[in-house]
Amino acid sequence: MRKLLLACSLLLAAPAAAFFSPANRGTSGAQFLEIAPGARSAGMGEAFSGVADSVEAVYYNPAGLGNLRRVEVEGMGDQYFQGMTYDFAALAVPMLSWIDTRKPANYYGVLAFSIYNLSISNIPIQGTTESASPTGSFTSEDLAYALSYAYAFQDTGLSLGVTGKYVTSNLDGYNASGLAGDAGALYTGERYSLGAGFRNMGSSYGFNGQGDPLPFLAYAGAGYYFKPGWLGSVEFDAPRDNNFGLAFGTEYRRAFAGKLSGAVRAGYNTLENSAGGFAGTSFGGGIGYGSFSFDFAFVPFGELGNTYRYALTVKF
C-alpha cells in the first residue's frame, strides 16, 4: 500500500514539474483560487493536505472527505488585508448511510459542496493623470462553486477524491468564467497519514477572450501524531506560477471537563514569506463543545497587513 501511494504521489506531482518555470510567475488567472480557506488549517501553516481529516479537506485534499462518518458543515469569514473579504462555506454528507446501518456511514462515499468568495469594494477609478482625483469607484468579486466526491476503500486506509469547480469573476461589469478540477489520494495509518494530489487543473481563464492558465498546483503532505492530541504536519507544494513551497504545522488538542475541548496551533509556510516581517508564520486556536467547534487563526502578511480568520464547524 505504501508503494502504491508513493507511485500515485510521483504521478500526480509530475505535471507540476512540466508546468513550473520562473517565467510563469504572476501569469495565472483566477488567483483567488490560491487562497486557502479554513481557520484550523490556516493556523497550521496550511500544511493540511496530508491530514485532511475534516470538512476543510474539500480544498486541501478531497480524498480526506472519504473518511468522514458524520455530516459536517463549516462557515468561515476572513478579514483579509487591503480591505478585501474572503468567505468560505462547505457541507460534507456521507452518502446513503441510512440504507444499511450495519455498514459504516461512509460506505458509499462522501459528497461535499463548497463555495469560495473573494470581494473588494470601493476600488477607486483613477483619473487620466497620476495627480488627478479618482473619478469614481467599482467592485470586484470572484466566486467558485465546487462539488466533491470521495471514496474510502474500507479496511485499507486508502481513500481517493475528486472535485469539479465552476469559477466566475466580475470586474466592474466585465465577466469571466471557467472550469477547474482537483484530485487527491490519502493513506491513513495508525498514527500517520500521507497525501498527494493537484488543484486547479483546467482551461484558461480571463476577460474579453484574453485567457491565462489557471493556478495549477501539485502537492504532497504528511501528518503524524506524536502522542494522543499532538499532531504534526508537513507539506510540499509545486505551483506553476511560483517557487516551490514547504509548510510545517502543529496542533495540540486537549479535552476538558464534560464535552469541552481546546486546541492551540502554529505553522510556517515558505510560499507566504515574501512580504517581509512575520509573513509566513501563523498561529491559531479553537474551542469545542460537543458537536460544535469555533476556530480562529492569525496570519500576518508583513507590509500588506494581517488577516484574521474565524470558522464555525458543526457535526451532525
Q: Who wins on pLDDT, 172 or 310?
A: 310
What is the rounded end-to-end Cα distance, in angstroms, of the chain?
32
Q: Who wins on pLDDT, 246 or 210?
A: 246
- pTM for the predicted model, two decimal places: 0.86
Q: Who wins on pLDDT, 39 or 277?
A: 39
Q: Which CATH number fits domain 2-126+137-315: 1.10.1060.10, 3.40.50.261, 3.50.50.60, 2.40.160.60?
A: 2.40.160.60
8 pLDDT more than 50: no
CA gap 258, 117 in Å, rounded? 37
- For 129-136, what is the mean pLDDT? 64
Q: Who wins on pLDDT, 276 or 177?
A: 177
Average pLDDT, the chain: 86
Sorting pLDDT into bands at 50, 70 and 90, what band is 10?
very low
Sorting pLDDT into bands at 50, 70 and 90, what band is 18?
very low
What are the tens digits of pLDDT across the range 231-280? 999 999 999 888 899 999 999 999 998 899 999 999 999 988 776 778 88
Whole-number percent of the chain with pLDDT over 70: 83
157 pLDDT more than 70: yes
3-state secondary structure of 248: strand
Based on its alpha-carbon atoms, the radius of gyration of the chain, rounded to whole angstroms, reads 20
CA gap 55, 2 in Å, rounded? 25
Amino acid at 57: A
- For 154-172, what is the mean pLDDT? 93
User: Where along the chain do its domains lie?
Assistant: 2-126+137-315
Give the pLDDT confidence score for residue 301 in this predicted structure: 84
Concatenating the DSSP letter of every residue in 72-112 gives EEEEEEEE-GGG-EEEEEEEEEETTTTS-TTS-TTTT-EEE
132 pLDDT more than 70: no
CA gap 96, 149 in Å, rounded? 13
What are the tens digits of pLDDT across the range 187-204? 999 999 999 999 999 877
